[in-house]
Structure 1
Amino acid sequence: MGALPHALVLPFPAQGHVIPLMELSYCLVDHGFRITFVNTEFNHDRVVAALQIHSTMEQINLVSVPDGLDKEEDRNDIGRLTDGLMKTMPPGLEDLIRKSSEAGDRITCMIVDESMAWALEIAKKMGLRPAAFWPASAQLLATLLSIPELTSKGVIDADGAATRQEMFQLGPGMPPMNTAHFVWNCIGDRETQRTVFKCILDNNRAIGIAEFVICNSFKEIEEPAFASAPGILPVGLRLTPDESGIVKQERIKSKVEELLGDEEMRSKALLLKDIAHRNISRGGSSSQNLQAFVDAMKTSTKR
């Protein structure tokens, strides 16, 4: 029996990114993969502590690399964090991949958070199968990928700032959006927003390296968004809102109470549950997409 396919999984170290990629890792383990899950040194101990309750970690190796920030620096400063990651992580990742290969445990593919798409250059350089994962809605990813169109139409300027405040529709059937609510303009001060916008542009360029771009959503609930970006595969692992990578008990309790106390919310939740079940069940579209992705990632590139 040959060695198991070995995936390096790299989440962005911020809220709502770690848990979805860990869930993807568990799915890959179920499909016969070994996983090297890379956190920043700052997040590593927190993630290890949060996952101690799990007993099926044999095929998931948690490792850490520096994020480029001093210990006392604020990791909530997304602009500073992003800048530190892009400057510091590449040599650490290359060294990790090289040492794993030298130890006879070759990494065969890399799956990065789309917010870390710049790391796909490393996958290409090191001869790994490259893929990207988007942990949020397809509409948000479609918006990020539509930045060139938004710029050419004069909706935003070269730095991502909205030229006017108005409602617009990204594509047929998609929910209307307010230009004041572009995600890159809702973070920190203007300098931070420029840094984040530049990182998004860099990621948009790098995403072309990925053989697959998979999204934690379902085609049936975001069909117009997937139609506007046909290269994105919906795999819909599960619905996972969280804070700082960890789902807090108080948040779960408040959402359950809100759901049980509102008939309309309860009906919508049951509908979503039915849609999710159909999509992730054997033969469902998300199940088929995940299987196609798994089969491709099991095929190693030549080095």
Structure 2
Amino acid sequence: MQQHVAVSHRDDSSLGIAELKMDDQQPHVLIWPFPAQGHIKPMVGLTALLCDAGIHVTFLNTDHNHRRLTYLQSLSTHFPTLHLESISDGLPADHPRTLPFLPELTSSIKSVTKPLFRQLLADSIKNSVSPVTCVIADGGMPFAIDVAKELGIRVIAFRTFSACCLWSYFCLPNLIQEGQLPVNDEDMDLMVAGVPGMEGLLRRRDLPGICRRQPDDPSFQLFVVETQAMTRASALILNTYDDLEAPILSHLAPLFSKIYTIGPLNALMRSRIGDAVSRSFSSFSNLWEVDRSCMTWLDSQPLGSVVYVSFGSLAIMTRGFAMELWHGLVNSGKRFLWAVRRDAILPGAEGEQVIPVELQEGTKERGFLVDWAPQEDVLAHPSTGGFLTHSGWNSTLESIVAGVPMVCWPQIADQQINSRWVSEVCRIGLDMKDTCDRSTVETMIKTLMKDGREEIMMSMDRISKLAHDCVSQGGSSYHNLDMLAEDIRKI
């Protein structure tokens, strides 16, 4: 039976984790995501699943994101073993913390937050009735692995993107040694031979976005260091499932003592803790306020007729590109729901602010725009028939779970390789990589939404069924979560 514990609320003057009143010593996991939407959401999902297993979890956020995730605090009433804690990221409150400024955020976390994190864990060991027994750290913050190990606390790495991207990161030193990096615009279609398991699949343009920088670039080197650092953890958690990336998982297996594949996490949450609670966790883990007015609009649209458009929480586009995209959407003649953040489009030159009449009229007739949509609900809606996506891993998995085929326009990090996996391995989408003028957008959408798209839907139905099977009782992800919880209890 799950124990109920009394959790004292955080005192902002102290870095200590709240004391926990428990009859018996229980495992206590601290989960710490990198402070970005795509990292927070899956780690919130893992938090819910471990709490449901009766394990006490402290979810650690930056102060900045802690203030934005106000609704998440209410979920501690559902899971008495959940406690929310925050820590400074070292940046001023008005810092934008958007994609162009991520290097500043990363640097600040390493220099300012690392010693605060060390002190937080040290205080837990000395003073708490229930000391932290395990840290689950985002693979994007390797110093957390080293701090936990120095203090004698077991640490598990959680990489929130695809296994195929992670494996390609491990192969970067070999690609450099073989002269296949850096890539340049003149040879982007050359095949890459240095990523075992993906021979004949990857072109240079399909490598992770960081490969378009010089190998001595600090950001490039950071990815290499982060990747190697993960092997110092005692195990690895991945938000994927065996049937989706089995060939790549076999290459990663020798690098870690244990790998827990527990995805798709959004589907596993629904399987283990029910639809209502899992939807609450998904909704409350959004850093942006969700606009649900689009659901009423979707209710009035024909079955499978709408293309959902979203490029995630970090992507930024020029006004010129936004106009090309918008023209392509309108010219396709298809209905579309576009979730476009207010900070997603860079300001244009003076005189470029006027929206062409044809875009205004076409959107009024067939489109709907919101700042931030309830993505899982949109993808699950019967009116949604396609997804124009940045190929972030969360979005890719959510689309698979919902059975909605994709047009992929990747930008950064893992998105380049995800889109290739979607289009060429799974055959559940179209890759619009590197070319996104209005004609291309129009053609891709028409192709995705055309009558007689049986082949792509047959592939999607098969891949989606495998996802649902793996999170059901007896499935691989369902079993692996049980093994993860059991291993945490043995610490």
Equivalent position to 2:150, from 121, 125, 133? 125
Q: Which residue of 1 is the match for residue 90 of structure 2? A: 68
Stretch of structure 1 that moved more, 172-181 or 146-155: 172-181
SS in 1 for 2:241: coil
Aligned length: 293
Q: In the alignment, is residue 7 of structure 1 matched against residue 29 of structure 2?
A: yes
Cα separation, partners in 2 of 1:233 and 1:151, compared to 1, 3 Å = farther
Determine the C-alpha separation between the residues in 2 that align with 1:293 and 1:274. 24
Alpha-carbon distance between aligned partners in 2 of 1:118 and 1:297, rounded to the nearest angstrom: 21
List per-residue Cα deviations over 1:98-141 (Å, max 9, x = no partner): 23330322000000111112210011011111101122211111
Query: In the superposition, relative to structure 1, how do residues 66 and 40 fare at CA in structure 2: closer, same or farther (>3 Å)?
Result: same
Structure 1 counterpart SS, 2:57: strand
Cα shift at 1:250: 5.5
CA distance, structure 2, for counterparts of residue 277 and residue 45 of structure 1: 34
Displacement, 1:184? Answer: 4.5
Instruction: Say whether the 8 Å CA contact 1:15–1:242 is kept in structure 2.
Output: no
Cα RMSD (Å) of the superposition?
Answer: 3.1
Who is 1:228 aligned against?
251
Give the direction of change, closer, same or farther, for the CA distance of 1:288–1:42 in structure 2 (3 Å limit). Answer: same
Which stretch shows the higher mean deviation, 171-180 or 62-71?
171-180
**TM-score in terms of structure 1 length:** 0.84
Matched residue SS, 2:83: strand
Are 1:279 and 2:300 an aligned pair?
no
1:88 aligns with 112
Q: In structure 2, what residue type is equivalent to 1:126? A: L
Task: Quote the Cα distance in structure 2 between the aligned partners of 1:183 and 1:69.
Answer: 28
Unaligned stretches of 5+ residues in structure 2: 1-22, 268-309, 315-370, 387-403, 405-448
Once residues 174 and 61 of structure 1 are traced to their aligned partners in structure 2, the CA distance between those partners, rounded to angstroms, is 45
Q: Aligned partners of 2:205, 2:96: CA distance in 1, in Å? A: 26
Q: Does 1:139 align with 2:139?
A: no
TM-superposed CA distance for 1:90, in Å, is: 1.5
Q: How far off is 1:269 after superposition?
A: 4.3
Name the structure 1 match of 2:6.
Answer: none
Shift of the 27–253 alpha-carbon distance from structure 1 to 2, 3 Å rule, reads closer
Equivalent residue, structure 2, for 1:258: 385
Match of 2:180 in 1: 155
Distance in 1 between residues matched to 2:311 and 2:376, nearest whole Å: 9
1:198 and 1:8 mapped to 2: Cα distance?
A: 28
Unaligned runs of 5+ in 1: none
Taking structure 1 as reference, are residues 213 and 82 closer, same or farther at Cα in structure 2, changes over 3 Å only?
Answer: same
Does the 8 Å contact 2:26/2:130 carry over to 1?
no
Larger gyration radius, structure 1 or structure 2: 2
Equivalent residue for 2:265? 238
SS in 1 for 2:179: coil
Which amino acid is 1:277 matched to? H
Structure number with the bigger relative contact order (C-alpha 8 A, sep ≥ 6) is 1
**TM-score under structure 2 normalisation?**
0.54
Aligned partner of 1:249: which letter?
A
Give the counterpart letter for 2:44 in structure 1.
M
Q: Deviations over 1:8-66 (max 9, x none)?
A: 10101113110100101111112221111111111111123355467424212111111
Three-state SS of the structure 2 residue aligned to 1:67 is coil
Q: Judging changes above 3 Å, is the alpha-carbon distance between structure 1 residues 92 and 244 closer, same or farther for their aligned structure 2 residues?
A: farther
Q: Percent identity?
A: 25
